[in-house]
Amino acid sequence: MRILMVASEAAPFAKTGGLADVVGSLPAALKALGHEVAVLLPRYAAVDLKNARRVYDALPIWLPPNRYDTSLYLIERETPFYFLDCPPLYDRPGFYGEDGVDYPDNHIRFAVLAQAALAFCRRVWRPDILHGHDWQAGLAPAYLRTVYANDPTFLGMHSLFTIHNLGYHGLFPAAALAEIGLGGTDEFRPDGLEFFGKVCFLKGGLNYAEALNTVSPTYAREIQTPEYGFGLDGVLRARSEVLSGILNGVDYTEWNPETDGFIAAHYSSADLSGKRVCKQDLVNTFGLPGEAMDAPLIGIVSRFTSQKGADLVADAADGLVATGYFMAALGAGEPQYEELFRSMAERHPGRIAVRIGYDNALAHQIEAGADLFLMPSRYEPCGLNQIYSLRYGTVPVVRATGGLDDTIEPGTGFKFWNYSGSALVGALQAAREAFADAEGWRATIEAGMAKDFSWKVSAAEYARLYERLRG
Domain residues for the domain of 380 are: 273-452
Distances (CA, A) of 88 to 16, 91, 172: 22, 6, 20
DSSP secondary structure letter of residue 56: E
Contacts of 288 (CB under 8 A, 6+ apart): 297, 326, 328, 350, 351, 353
Please report which confidence band the pLDDT of residue 185 belongs to, taking 50, 70 and 90 as the band edges.
confident
278 and 129 inside one domain:
no
Say if residue 436 is in the same domain as residue 321: yes
In a domain, 119, yes or no: yes
> CA distances (Å), 246 to each of 26, 237, 304, in order?
12, 18, 26
Please check whether residues 341 and 225 belong to one and the same domain.
no
Q: Is 257 within the bounds of a domain?
A: no
Within a domain: 268: no
- The pLDDT of residue 18 is 85
The mean per-residue pLDDT over the stretch 368-375 comes to 98
List, for residues 284-334, the tens digit of each pLDDT value: 999 999 999 999 999 999 999 999 999 999 999 999 999 999 999 999 988
Query: 212 pairs with which residues across the strands?
Result: 161, 243
Q: Where are the alpha helices (DSSP H) in 185-327?
A: 201-208, 217-222, 233-238, 273-285, 310-322
> Is 261 a member of any domain?
no
Question: Whole-angstrom Cα distance, residue 377 to residue 399?
Answer: 6
Neighbours of 106 (CB within 10 A): 21
Whether 278 and 187 map to the same domain: the answer is: no
Question: 100 pLDDT band (50/70/90 cuts)?
Answer: confident
**Residue 184, pLDDT above cutoff 80:** no
User: Any idea how long the chain is?
Assistant: 471
Q: How many CB atoms lie within 10 A of CB 196?
A: 8
Q: How confident is the model at residue 471 (pLDDT cuts 50, 70, 90)?
A: confident
- 167 with 199, same domain: the answer is yes
- The span from the CA of 138 to the CA of 117, in Å, is 11
Q: Do 431 and 395 touch, CB atoms closer than 8 A?
A: yes
With beta carbons less than 8 A apart as the criterion, state whether 118 and 139 touch. no
Q: Is residue 262 part of a domain?
A: no
- Same domain flag for 131 and 99: yes
Model's pTM, two decimal places?
0.93
pLDDT interval class at 16 (50, 70, 90): confident
Cβ proximity of 453 and 387 under 8 Å: yes
Residues whose CB falls within 8 Å of the CB of residue 265, separated by 6 or more in sequence, listed in order: 273, 274, 275, 277, 278, 281
Note whether 429 and 460 are same-domain residues.
no
Q: Is the pLDDT of residue 409 over 90?
A: yes
pLDDT value at residue 128: 97
Domain match, 401 and 317 both = yes
pLDDT, one tens digit per residue, over 204-217 is: 999 999 999 999 99
CATH number of the domain that residue 80 is part of: 3.40.50.2000
Co-location of 134 and 42 in the same domain? yes
**Dihedrals φ, ψ of 6, to 5°?**
-120, 125
Query: What is the side-by-side order of every strand in the sheet holding 326-333?
Result: 352-356, 326-333, 297-304, 372-375, 395-399, 414-416
328 and 447 part of one domain: yes
**pLDDT digit string, tens, across residues 239-283:** 999 999 999 999 899 899 999 999 999 999 999 999 999 999 999
Strands (E), 121-254: 129-133, 158-163, 171-172, 194-195, 198-200, 211-214, 243-245
The structural domain count of the chain equals 2
Residue 165 located in a structural domain: yes
Domain assignment present for 371: yes
Please check whether residues 431 and 293 belong to one and the same domain. Answer: yes
Task: Mark whether 229 and 308 lie in a shared domain.
Answer: no
Which of 344, 326, 339 is closest to 285 using CA atoms? 326
10 Å Cβ neighbour count for 125? 14
Peptide bond before 65: cis, by omega within 30 degrees of 0? yes
- Residue 430 located in a structural domain: yes
